[in-house]
Amino acid sequence: MSGEKRFVGLGLAALKNNFAQLKHPYKLNFAITYWCQSRCLTCNIWQLKPKGELTLDEIREFARKNNHFRWIGITGGEPFLRSDIVDIIEAFVKYNKDLYLLTIPTNSLTNFDMLMGKIERILQLGIPKVSITLSLDGYREMHDKVRGVPGNFDKAMAIAKRFREMQKKYKNLFFIFGYTMSRFNQGALEATYQGVKREIPDVSYNNFHINVAQISDIYYNNTNLEIRSEREAIANELKDFISKRRREFGAIPVLEEVFLKNLVTYVRTGQSPMRSRSLDASLFLDSYGNVYPSIMWNRKIGNIRDTNFDLAPIWQGQDAAEVRRLIGEGKDPASWTACEAYQVIVGKVTSFSALLKPPY
């Protein structure tokens, strides 16, 4: 199926989700490993020593039995620490014929040549859009401090420069810098942009994706950390950043624009700006096979190992129905992260018309 047809299929699935519960999710958020080389001040994933994570054969069986995903977000830990990441993605491509979008973050700490080799192999799998986020939480000194690894900033710049070259060959490659605002880098967003501009002169504000540090006991494992800064200060910094972005058309720019404007609302109110689409459009699968509504909600509804890797009994089960009831009553945790918010935005009829033109 062509990229344009897959794009339209994704949009129609999102539109349908406005009016009825889908038989299966069209988006999968999948943490393929919790191993990580970073030492982030905002996150404790790196302290985990995971054992018993899903094997490649198990993931292949899951991909075979659940062939309805149009959008897959691979995450970690550091996803590229899995030596079989290309095989994992290849399995989803093989069985999910309608797959349009793959997103992957990286901390840029994996061996450069090895990382570039894996990414090039992924780009060759025929996925219409591959979006890679380079984590960047400050200018050189600040990023290395927040991430806890000296030299991390320079490694991210080296990868970004290589990506610019690769985009000439691979039209399906899209990449952005992922900046997470916290008390550790409050007020440093503009300085970070300028630091990147010195390395990559033609970088723009549109090349940055902004998140706000949030708490999750099942994902970030950071309930013991004080990471949030003053709400109004962050909101004003965000508004200043948004004002400098140029207006672009296409799926990803429109999604990001709506996401950022609602992020300001979330920062100021502490409330989710839109109704969650968890267990309607999407779910979160951790590296042990546990299924959750989202990365922010410690409400396990099953494990794919217990259902012979078939998601249907979990998706259609009583626990999932109860979670959907709670979401309908507004009793889910307040949050606004890209991996959960984007499908909420896509599901809005008002946004759908703006997304009809695919980003080619």
Using pLDDT thresholds of 50, 70 and 90, give the confidence band for residue 349: very low
Q: Give the start-to-end residue ranges of the domains of the chain.
A: 3-355
Look at residue 267 in the predicted model and tell me its pLDDT. Answer: 93
- The CATH code of the domain at 3-355 is 3.20.20.70
Look at residue 99 in the predicted model and tell me its pLDDT. Answer: 96
Amino acid 33 reads T
Average pLDDT, the chain: 91
Identify which has the larger pLDDT, 286 or 258.
286
- Mind listing the pLDDT tens digit for each residue in 215-230? 999 999 999 998 877 8
- Mind listing the pLDDT tens digit for each residue in 119-149? 999 999 999 999 999 999 999 999 999 999 9
Asked if residue 140 lies in contact with residue 183, where contact means CB atoms within 8 angstroms, the answer is: no
- Mind listing the pLDDT tens digit for each residue in 31-58? 999 999 999 999 999 999 999 999 999 9
Identify which has the larger pLDDT, 276 or 177.
177
Which DSSP string do the residues of 60-105 spell out, in sequence order? Answer: HHHHHH----SEEEEESS-GGGSTTHHHHHHHHHHH-TT--EEEEE
pLDDT higher than 80, residue 8: no
Give the global pTM. Answer: 0.92
Asked if residue 38 lies in contact with residue 77, where contact means CB atoms within 8 angstroms, the answer is: no
307 secondary structure, DSSP code: G
Query: What radius of gyration, in Å, describes the C-alpha atoms of the chain?
Result: 19
What average pLDDT score do residues 328-332 get?
Answer: 92
- Mind listing the pLDDT tens digit for each residue in 78-132? 999 999 999 999 999 999 999 999 999 999 999 999 999 999 999 999 999 999 9
Look at residue 12 in the predicted model and tell me its pLDDT. Answer: 74
